[in-house]
Structure 1
Amino acid sequence: MTTASDIERRLPDAIAPRVRSVRSTEGVVTLVVDAAGLERSEAAEMQAQLEQLVKSMDGVKEVRVALMADRPSRRIIAVGSGKGGVGKSTLTANLAVALARMGRKVGVVDADIYGPSQVMLLDAANQGVKAEGEKLIPAESEFGVKLLSMGQLIAPGKAIAWRGPMTGNALGQLMDAHWGDVELLLVDLPPGTGDVQLTMMQKFKPAGAVVVSTPQDLALIDATRAIDLFRQVNVPIVGLVENMAGYVCPHCGDVSDPFGQGGAEAAARALGEDFLGRVPLAMEIRVASDTGQPPAAGDTPQGQAFTAIARRLSAWLDGSGR
């Protein structure tokens, strides 16, 4: 019996990006197809081609093709911080992997134009980016997450020396790519509150923002600035995440707090925002990240920390009404 996965694998390259969903139940196959921008004759031809192809497959009794004129609803969650070095990119990659494991169709935009790191975190350094017309086609990592990053478009180690307008154009190309059936885009913002952040929020209007900080006072001051920027442009704050929170000595098991303790949770409480959880300072996270194996892809204690935060984000998405 032909399954939905079998059908998706056999779709023609020219049509596959337009197929939003495939469902196969007791020989009845239903395909939802994005027909936006097509002439009526082109849409009818595509429908006939799909019906003929799928009807020829084993066990298929009936084929139903639903043509949709609008593009899929896609929500954007920005992941930001007021400063660098707080683990924002690592959090973004692991949230994406955890959400994909929960069944969501997730994409990651590495908006840190000058310092892209998602290609390493998601083990996509060798995955080139293709294009269809003027739109880029994201690569898909082995973790079920689609990705676009400047790290896929430039040679390793090459510096990008661009002024503000060029970074805005680059961000636009990454965001406006052919994301297919992706329902949720996580955007790994660069540190600070500059041009890329403003372009993202004003042009692409995120549904919400996750703010990352370490527990130390200096990082919290900058995180507060990031929250203020999101508030100024009416982007809802999903919540704060405290990263590098507590270090367990692998030899004696004692717990120490090199960056302090509970600062982000206290800041969230003071600012009236939700606290999403904390991620420990652990060698395992550093090693896994450097080798492109996000902890959230497994069930280790470190992976479970990311998964717990992803569940809270997922609940926010389901309850936000956006």
Structure 2
Amino acid sequence: MTTEQELPRSLNNVKHVILILSGKGGVGKSSVTTQTALTLVNKGYNVGVLDIDLTGPSLPRMFGVETKQVHQSTQGWIPVQVYDKKKTTSGGSLKLMSLGFLIGDRGNSVVWRGPKKTAMIKQFLKDVVWSTNEPLDYLLIDTPPGTSDEHIAIAEELRYVPQLDGAIIVTTPQLVATSDVKKEINFCHKVNFKILGIVENMSGFICPHCSECTNIFSSGGGLNLANQLGLNYLGNLPIDPNFVELIELQNNEQDDKTLIKLYDKSELKPIMNDIIDKVLTLDHAPRTIS
């Protein structure tokens, strides 16, 4: 039986929650989260991103807001406004909350035991003020790899949240990655997280000179896994060195140099757009709470 106090209060004004999960580190999960956020903003949605990868909070860097700070209000933490809806052609907006804003120098390491990590994640899920006026359409939660204490804390906090649409699972084509992803999928089944589908990242390499795609890590591992387990296959994303360059070139002080504007020219944009279209057409019926 769901009670009001069991629901994280920060989600009261959030319509949809999507987890970005992977069973293995180094599969480009934060890159997929970044592109998912940009794509949703380009579709006109108000988007929030919660970075709870406590040992590697890279999203402030990805969005070019490392020097920004979160603020404390009487209601809770105010996330960093990456893009205001007045400054996007679509009318979408983007907010970001990350441990990276709280540790100062990104070279600092976070050496915490499980209970402290769990407490921080619970605070992130309860005390961030995503919206006080217009509802947040989508909240993306970028998680650490694996099925550790952080994931158990996430499951405990979100198990009764009806806005949770489910999880996007990120893998790479190699067998070692897809084997680890099976563990993540098993975790989702155990905690009653719906799996929206699998994305195969690093599926080929786009040459920056001729735009030809070469399968340097093989291809098809994600599709085979989806077929084997009866899951949706959302698509494959190649490695594009130009996307890394866009991260470095962005400048949020110049309207034509923001990442969302630079991303318009990326080879990845139409590919990611197709992937997100598949996610948005999935049935968002309320989950069965057990």
TM superposition score category, shorter chain reference: 0.7 to 0.9
- Equivalent in the alignment of 1:264: 222
Paired position in structure 1 for 2:58:
117
Alignment partner, residue 48 of structure 1? none
Q: Deviations over 1:78-101 (max 9, x none)?
A: 101011110100101110111122
Highest CA radius of gyration, 1 or 2? 1
Distance in 1 separating the partners of 2:244 and 2:260: 10
Q: 1:251 to 1:145 in 2, by over 3 A?
A: closer
The residue that corresponds to 1:19 in the other structure is none
Instruction: For structure 2, list consecutive stretches of 5 or more residues without a partner in the other structure.
Output: 1-10, 251-258
Residue aligned with 1:244, SS? strand
Would you say the 8 A contact 1:83–1:192 is kept in 2? yes
> Percent identity, aligned pairs only?
31
From the superposition, tell whether residues 295 and 213 of structure 1 become closer, same or farther in structure 2 (CA, over 3 Å): farther
* 1:310 and 2:276 correspond: yes
Question: Does structure 2 conserve the Cα–Cα contact (< 8 Å) formed by 1:110 and 1:118?
Answer: yes
Matched, 1:240 2:190: no
Q: TM-score, normalised by structure 2?
A: 0.81
| Separation (CA, whole Å) in 2 of partners of 1:260 and 1:284 | 21
Q: CA deviation at 1:250?
A: 3.8
Q: Which residue of 2 aligns with 1:196?
A: 150
Secondary structure of 1:245's counterpart equals: strand
TM-score, with normalisation over the residues of structure 1? 0.73
Q: CA distance change for structure 1 residues 250 and 148 in 2, over 3 Å: closer, same or farther?
A: closer
Deviation at 1:231, TM superposition (A): 0.8
Q: What is the CA distance between 1:74 and its match in structure 2? A: 3.3
Q: Report the 3-state secondary structure (helix = DSSP H, G, I; strand = E; otherwise coil) of the residue aligned with 1:261.
A: coil
Q: Which residue number in structure 1 is paired with residue 6 of structure 2? A: none
Q: 1:290 to 1:195 in 2, by over 3 A?
A: farther
Q: Does residue 179 in structure 1 map to residue 130 in structure 2?
A: yes
Number of aligned residue pairs: 252
* Higher RCO (C-alpha 8 Å, min separation 6): 2
Mean Cα deviation higher: 70-79 or 102-111: 70-79
Correspondence 1:73-222 to 2 at 5 A:
73-133=14-74, 135-142=76-83, 144-156=93-105, 157-176=107-126, 177-180=128-131, 181-205=135-159, 206-222=164-180
Which whole-Å CA distance do the structure 2 matches of 1:232 and 1:204 have between them?
13
CA contact (8 A) 1:247 1:281 kept: yes
- Preserved contact between residue 213 and residue 264 of structure 1 (Cα < 8 Å): yes
TM superposition shift of 1:173: 2.1
What's the secondary structure of 2:193's corresponding residue?
A: coil
CA contact under 8 A between 1:296 and 1:304: conserved in structure 2?
no
Q: Please report how far the alpha carbon of residue 127 of structure 1 lies from its aligned counterpart in structure 2 after TM superposition.
A: 1.4
1:307–1:255 Cα change, 3 Å: closer
- Counterpart of 2:279 in structure 1: which amino acid? L
Deviations 1:28-81 (A, max 9, x none): xxxxxxxxxxxxxxxxxxxxxxxxxxxxxxxxxxxxxxxxxx943533211010
